[in-house]
Structure 1
Amino acid sequence: MRNIRRIISFVLAICFIHIFAFSSDVQAQESVDIQAEAAILIDADSGKILYEQNADEKLAIASMTKMMTEYLVLEAIKNEEIEWDDEVPISDYAQQVSQNYSLSNIPLLEDVKYTVKELYESMAIYSANGATIALAELVGGSEANFVQMMNDKAEELGLGDVTFVNTTGLNNKDLFGQHPAGSETEENMMSARSTALLAYRLLHDHPNVLETASIPVKNFTKGLDDPLEMLNWNWMLDGLDLAYPGVDGLKTGSTDLAGFAFTGTVQKGDMRFISVVMKTNSAISRFRETAKLYDWGFSQFSKQEIVPEGYKFENKTVPVVKGKQKEVAVQAKSSFSMLVRNNEKDLYKPEFTLDKKKFDDDGNLVAPFEKGEKIGTVTVKYSGEGSDYGFITDKVATSELVTVEEVKKANWFTLSMRAIGNFFGGLWDKIIG
């Protein structure tokens, strides 16, 4: 297995120059042609979708599955349900899978004490399948229970129509008849959009995921006479043959059904992308197509402040009742920046949405309230004629909408006079009507 990886590495070194020969051509393009069944590129900070291609087709995701396994393991650590130094029991099933050297694995032994950290690193760096099952059994009690947790978490995260039948991303036929869910030949299935959303939530909810995902190579020694070199399957990492500046994650995948897939993360200056390419035709092509996406994205987009802090909506106020003033101006509490096409900043306009819970049945804000009272959210709207794909999540709130000033409650006399005025005003309207 290790010799095969070294041979592949040598071949890739020869092909290296061809993969990144696309840069000069891509920079002049308005769009980019990605040779993959599906692809998507998003702004990792705001979730803005920059490019998509067949992004909603449900496809096999192979070992990109392990992003969900990582999410649940990191969540268990965050919730103090497990710790990095906890020892993980190795079941007969996990050991049996780990001994299959036709798959990505480190050999596990039942009488050796492995920690959560050791198994997590082997899963995140080397995509070790037996280690993945052992971690799932630790967190879920069984792989079947963990698969249910994966599907439940997918629903909670709003991933849409996804199917998890195991924790590794293997085809069920590779699990020695012990697959936890689905038919004997099923695999985990997601769309490129859902996969990007999972990666987006993983980075935002557990940013420490990149600490391990960015490790290019590490030796695994536990229980072995000779160290096993875990060369990261993400060959775009710094120090590996297909290194692309700024790549620090995230997960590859390949099976006969899935082809070759890759969910990548990259940062350059103040811009960070999440990319997904699915069902490419070779291990090299998934990185070639990802490089094309990155070259295009970095050349076509820049980070722009769309909503400045304290942005006021001119000539727009909200009505107030029971207050000393009858209306109040509103503003954005904080600034908001996102990636936009070069020279298109002015095509994005701030707009606000009011929180109905803050208003009475007639649409009035009820006094008294403080300056800076949150009454809604500020978002942005694209007014150009080009392609705008929206955001990876529908829960987009760029900033809180707050009141510009405090409005105190009017005294009883003022309220009484207003009530009398409203009464006679309404009566007069009826007379002349």
Structure 2
Amino acid sequence: MKKHIRNKGFLYSLLTLLLFTTLFANFPTKASAVELGLEAEAAILVDANSGKILYELNPDMTLPPASMSKMMTEYLLLEAIHNKQVSWDQEVSITDYVYKISQNTKLSNVPLRKDIKYTVRELYESMAIYSANGSTIALAETIAGSETNFIKMMNDKAQALGMEDAKFVNSTGLNNQDLLGMHPKGTGETEENMMSPRSVAILAYSLLKDYPEVLETASIPFKKFTKGIDGEGISMLNWNAMLPNIPGYLQQFAYQGVDGLKTGSTSLAGYCFTGTAERNGMRLISVVMKTNSQYKRFEETKKLFDYGFSNFVEKELFPANYQVKKHDVLKVEKGKQKEVQIASKEALKTVIKTNEEELYEPKLILDKKALTKKGTLVAPAEKGQKVGYLTYEYKGENNYGYLLKNGAASEKVAIVTQTGVEKANWFSLTMRAIGGFFADIWSSVAGGIAGLFS
């Protein structure tokens, strides 16, 4: 009998273990929900319009970004151009520091000369296309007076953009030991810039949002740098082998829609790449960090882009003039009409996973500042007056959120009044007040009488 009880208890324990194992095996998590087989230390895939994260692998692991750091130099240069602090035609003299770095053929460089001047545009193109390190430092000195001053600007801008874990110690992304003892003051001799995939993606996202013209240069597959050391020019083949019009044997890595953005490699960083591609009006940003070969970074980026373009689509969730059920009108105080219709001013679009449209529910948020404490609108009100906004609530799984903390704020459209409401004249308002007064009295009396019989 005791043996039978023990066997029964064992069976119950076994069944319980199997039940929990099955439940946990099928419970989706962010880390395991999507498996792409990436051969990279960390990665992230983002919708470039909203900043919505579509895939992530160790997104907050801080790693050396190598020359992807130059995207921050590009950002600060384009900002200085827009603010008219620097001009494209401005001529730049080459300092001893820049000259020595630019002569190092083991690094990516166009050899610069001290006996001539270069325009900001020439230096910028050699940085954006060929990742020229000497040119990058020359631009940093032009903008800030010294690379030491410039890295303070880089770190300040990183914090302003929300790149919380980013740390810049130079303008190029090289290891400081490659700067021949001339690294910026206050930084260590063997230090290197550090960022997570999330921070790199924030930088790329901000660069594309604020200065989309960066792609005009980043997408150039090949160009001659005319002021070479021998006076005959230098051929600059873009390090981004995924550009569709890249020449020669690199065509095997070309990917439709790719037009940027920045490669990087050092002994510590391995090989990394921030890519961007656009298809059918949807632009994606990818970051892969620490792959083991020059071309592996492009193969892994292809996996990300294939996943993104195959599984996601920009969709109109709710059309313009959309009305949320049971929330299609607002009560109006002191108006000729007692209520007004409200609807979305524009269509609400977002990038969603294919066939998940039914998992997005409308969400109406009324603007408390535009309404009374009772949630009513006070006349007069104009047609098209904003009273709130329409967003959505996602009911599915594997929601990675957004790059930025306030990212969801971009996924909304205004809710506005459909007609104007004039203010009622004094007589109408007086009669309503009188009617309301007697209605309150009658309610009190009726309530008292009902209380006598309760």
Interval of TM-score (by shorter of Structure 1 and Structure 2)? 0.7 to 0.9
Q: What is the match of residue 400 of structure 2?
A: 389
Residue 329 of structure 1 aligns to a residue in which SS?
strand
Compared CA separation, residues 353 and 184, structure 1 to 2 (3 A): farther
Q: Confirm or deny: 8 A CA contact 1:48 1:338 kept in the other structure.
A: no
- Matches of 2:167 and 2:288, distance apart in 1: 18
- Matches of 1:256 and 1:430, distance apart in 2: 83
Residue 141 of structure 2 aligns to a residue in which SS?
helix
Residue 149 of structure 2 aligns to a residue in which SS?
helix
User: CA deviation digits over 1:288-314, x for unaligned, max 9?
Assistant: 110111112222122221121221222
Q: What is the match of residue 25 of structure 1?
A: none
Q: What is the match of residue 223 of structure 2?
A: 218
Q: What is the match of residue 46 of structure 1?
A: 50
- Matches of 1:263 and 1:152, distance apart in 2: 22
Which of 150, 157, 162 pairs up with 1:158? Answer: 162
Q: What is the match of residue 313 of structure 1?
A: 324
Q: What is the match of residue 152 of structure 2?
A: 148
1:410 and 2:416 correspond = no
- Matches of 2:62 and 2:442, distance apart in 1: 64
Q: Confirm or deny: 8 A CA contact 2:34 2:55 kept in the other structure.
A: no
Q: Confirm or deny: 8 A CA contact 2:334 2:423 kept in the other structure.
A: yes
Q: What is the match of residue 230 of structure 1?
A: 236
- Matches of 2:424 and 2:295, distance apart in 1: 71
Which of 196, 200, 205 pairs up with 2:210? Answer: 205
1:304 and 2:318 correspond = no
Which of 348, 359, 364 pairs up with 1:336? Answer: 348
Matched residue count: 404
Q: Confirm or deny: 8 A CA contact 1:105 1:128 kept in the other structure.
A: yes
Q: What is the match of residue 366 of structure 2?
A: 354
Compared CA separation, residues 375 and 258, structure 1 to 2 (3 A): farther
- Matches of 1:182 and 1:360, distance apart in 2: 56
- Matches of 2:167 and 2:441, distance apart in 1: 64
Aligned positions of 1:22-37 closer than 5 A: 31-37=35-41
- Matches of 2:313 and 2:180, distance apart in 1: 49
Residue 190 of structure 1 aligns to a residue in which SS?
coil
Q: Confirm or deny: 8 A CA contact 1:30 1:300 kept in the other structure.
A: no
Q: Confirm or deny: 8 A CA contact 2:348 2:391 kept in the other structure.
A: no
Normalising by structure 1, report the TM-score.
0.86
Compared CA separation, residues 284 and 417, structure 1 to 2 (3 A): same
- Matches of 1:169 and 1:323, distance apart in 2: 63
- Matches of 1:405 and 1:31, distance apart in 2: 51
- Between structure 1 and structure 2, the one with the greater Rg is 2
- Matches of 2:86 and 2:441, distance apart in 1: 71
Compared CA separation, residues 364 and 59, structure 1 to 2 (3 A): farther
Normalising by structure 2, report the TM-score.
0.83
Residue 402 of structure 1 aligns to a residue in which SS?
strand
354-363 or 369-378: bigger deviation: 354-363
Residue 215 of structure 1 aligns to a residue in which SS?
coil
User: CA deviation digits over 1:182-238, x for unaligned, max 9?
Assistant: 322222222212211221121121111111001111111214323211111111112
Compared CA separation, residues 165 and 330, structure 1 to 2 (3 A): farther
Which of 174, 178, 187 pairs up with 1:174? Answer: 178
Letter in 1 for 2:357: K
Aligned positions of 1:47-196 closer than 5 A: 47-180=51-184, 181-196=186-201
User: CA deviation digits over 1:374-416, x for unaligned, max 9?
Assistant: 23332222122x3122333323233222222212222223333
- Matches of 1:186 and 1:359, distance apart in 2: 55
245-254 or 396-405: bigger deviation: 396-405
Residue 313 of structure 1 aligns to a residue in which SS?
coil
Q: Confirm or deny: 8 A CA contact 1:112 1:223 kept in the other structure.
A: no
Compared CA separation, residues 229 and 368, structure 1 to 2 (3 A): same
Q: Confirm or deny: 8 A CA contact 1:104 1:127 kept in the other structure.
A: yes
Residue 368 of structure 1 aligns to a residue in which SS?
coil
Compared CA separation, residues 164 and 424, structure 1 to 2 (3 A): farther
Q: Percent same amino acid at aligned positions? A: 58
Residue 390 of structure 1 aligns to a residue in which SS?
coil
Q: Confirm or deny: 8 A CA contact 1:322 1:409 kept in the other structure.
A: yes
Residue 101 of structure 1, CA deviation: 1.9
61-70 or 330-339: bigger deviation: 330-339
- Matches of 1:355 and 1:142, distance apart in 2: 48
Residue 414 of structure 2 aligns to a residue in which SS?
strand
Residue 427 of structure 1, CA deviation: 6.1
Letter in 2 for 1:206: Y
1:259 and 2:259 correspond = no
- Matches of 2:159 and 2:439, distance apart in 1: 54
- Matches of 1:279 and 1:218, distance apart in 2: 28
Compared CA separation, residues 314 and 138, structure 1 to 2 (3 A): same
- Matches of 1:91 and 1:424, distance apart in 2: 88
Compared CA separation, residues 158 and 430, structure 1 to 2 (3 A): farther
Structure 1 unaligned spans of 5+: 1-28
Residue 264 of structure 1, CA deviation: 0.2
